[in-house]
Amino acid sequence: MATACFLDAGSVGTDLDFAALTAAADDWCWHESTRPGDVAARLADAEIAVTNKVVIDAATLAANPQLKLICVAATGVNNVDLEAARRLGITVVNAVGYATPAVIQHVFALLLALATRLPQYSEAVRDGRWQTAPHFCLLDYPITELAGRTLGIVGHGELGSAVARVATAFGMEILLAARPGVNRAAGDRIPLPELLEQADAVTLHCPLTPTTRGLIDADALERMRSQAFLINTARGGIVDEAALAQALRSGAIAGAGVDVLTREPPRSGNPLLAPDIPNLVVTPHVAWASRDARQRLVDQVAANVRAYRAGTPCRVVTGAGTN
């Protein structure tokens, strides 16, 4: 009999069909959310843990020797102590590809909002400025065409490659960054500093790791063109948020679209939530969150549980014998 516990089921919403997931294990404990101090106790009887963003650290794993499988209901697995899981023989699996269409759509929603100055023009209409204009249109904010511009992509996996295909349809040129920490050209990729200097827009699609934490810092932002946009739908910790706020205030870059912050939700504020930052669009980590994508995610978690129970785990990140 396999007992499973979903620690933060509320994070995927309540408007989905959970039948496949419910049937994947014999017994379930469902929690809308879980505070850090309650994680170990809630997993006390579980063989299978499901987490979206709840942290499962080494102490929690050590306190739960019966735990055999951790299903991360996301692609990024930085909320699980993978080394401790490997040491204890706990299999960790993730979800991949489920949100690709939604994320692509959000990347270009942010980029187009910045390029067309959509928030500013919408606000101008709400403020009555169009209604009192001397001409048929307002030309208060410069609009940038994407065609002919260069998009730099950091992380060319499932999401980065899909973004590149759409960018090409807009008539953009593509630059691919070499793996973070590698400062030499590799095939069709160039070192990140060179990409930052050449790109008119930069979009991030790499995981948050010790190598990528703070990857876009003050020095990186200084390398970017003054007309460039930065898009981050990956993880908040990849960008130095205070440095980005300063770069936008000073005009060092032209704008930024951010769907992720270092701490979510931002209970105690965040440098990017200050009201005086120009040409910044912040959304609340929803690039992945179309109903279609969330249903694919739940179905994929169910498939992961079934595969584990059948003795053939899939989408394995780490486990006994995994390098």
Q: Annotated catalytic, 135?
A: no
Residues 6+ apart with CB under 8 A from 14: none
Marked catalytic residue, from 106, 156, 235, 296: 235
For residue 236, give the nearest of 101, 11, 50, 53 by alpha carbon: 53
Residues 6+ apart with CB under 8 A from 126: none
Marked catalytic residue, from 83, 145, 222, 264: 264
Marked catalytic residue, from 205, 285, 296, 315: 285
Q: Annotated catalytic, 235?
A: yes
Question: What's the CA gap between 73 and 116, in Å, rounded?
Answer: 35
Question: What's the CA gap between 43 and 61, in Å, rounded?
Answer: 9
Look up residue 164 and give its amino acid.
A
Residues forming beta bridges with residue 186, ordered by sequence position? 189
Q: Are strands 150-154 and 201-204 parallel, antiparallel or unpaired?
A: parallel
Question: What's the CA gap between 146 and 184, in Å, rounded?
Answer: 28
224-235 burial, b at 16+ Cβ within 10 Å, e below that, comes to bbeebbbbbbbb
Q: What is the CA radius of gyration of the chain?
A: 22
| Cis geometry, peptide bond prior to residue 191 (ω within 30 degrees of 0) | no
Q: Tell me if residue 6 falls in helix, strand or coil.
A: strand
288-307 burial, b at 16+ Cβ within 10 Å, e below that, comes to bbbeebbbbbbbbbbbbbbb
Torsion sign over Cα 133, 135, 137, 141 = negative
Q: Annotated catalytic, 285?
A: yes
Look up residue 140 and give its amino acid.
D
Catalytic sites, residue numbers: 235, 264, 285
